[in-house]
Amino acid sequence: MIFSSNEWDTLREVVVGTADSANFPVQDLDFKESMTNGAWTETEFQFGPVSAEIIERANISLNKFSSVLEDLGIIVHRPLDRDYAALDQFYGYCPRDTVLIVGNNIICSPTKYTSRRQEWQTMSHVWKDQQLVFPDDPDAMFDAANICRLDRDLLYLVSQTGNMAGARWLQDHLGKEYRVHPINNLYSGVHIDSTITPVREGLVVLNAGRIKEDNIPETLKSWDKIWITADEIAHQSFDHYPYASNWIGLNFFMANPELAIVDPKQEVLIKKLSKYGIESIGVDLTESRTLGGGHHCCSLDTLRG
């Protein structure tokens, strides 16, 4: 069964990613342009297969993440093997990016990077005979991680990886049962889940470097807010080149409305969550900046509630 309509209901089943055969594609011209014109200039981005050392460290972390979730009684699925390096495709590290689950809808994201559009195949064993939807608008573009689910309200970040055509297609597909709220005044980079992270209904963690009082999405204005500033985020190390910014420390994952899986270095975040009665379990994803994914990115909740 597949059903997940928000970011906080009690987690029953989840996909946790793998770093096996991770690769930064050479032939995907959109990806190449993005990385060539990236904001980071201190080191050169390295295309091609990710080093065995990074993959090994990442997998140790992901296995630990999986074990923590299993100890909580959660069923953990892992992606099937795929030789991304040989195919010059991407990776299975961030299953969040390429499949969007809204209720019982399973939507394969029309990602900006064509090298990522087959990653859903490695999770086909999870939804088995359930129907997948492939957007039929050739102009629609979005990663699933551009979208934050608040039950019937979906926040849709318009950015480098999500356009307005994608928002329109999503609203048309989901119909009147859901409300898609395009957001284009917060962060033009990539995904939403290091900018806005709901903790439970009525409580949200906000990235104070990107959100101010005057541009909070209307849907969240009445919610309690935990603000995290840049100097409150612990430094995230990386290997040679940071594919994610230091804000990846805000990319945490709710196991249920009272329990967060977080980077253990984020002591300020943990303390602020605790003031609202939220417990935290620290799991260190050592390659979160190098490979571009924290706990929310590296997981895909398939059954909540």
Task: Write down the catalytic residue from 9, 20, 28, 143.
Answer: 143
Kindly name the residue from 239, 297, 298, 301 that is annotated as catalytic: 297
Q: Find the farthest-apart pair of alpha carbons in the chain and give their distance in angstroms, rounded.
A: 49
Cα–Cα distances in angstroms (integers) from residue 233 to residues 35, 40, 222, 286, in the given order: 24, 19, 25, 15
One-character DSSP codes across 105-153? EEEE---SSGGGTTGGGGGHHHHTTSPPB----TT--B-GGGEEEETTE
- Among candidate residues 181, 191, 295, 296, the one labeled active-site is 191
Residues ≥6 apart with Cβ < 8 Å to 289 = 236, 237, 238, 242, 243, 244, 245, 246, 248
Q: Enumerate the H helices of 134-284 as residue ranges.
A: 164-174, 267-274
Does the active-site annotation cover 297? Answer: yes
- Give yes or no for a contact between 127 and 100, defined as CB atoms under 8 angstroms apart: no
Residue 295 a catalytic site member: no
Q: Which amino acid is at 121?
A: Q
- CA gap 162, 183 in Å, rounded: 10
Catalytically active residues, by annotation: 143, 191, 297
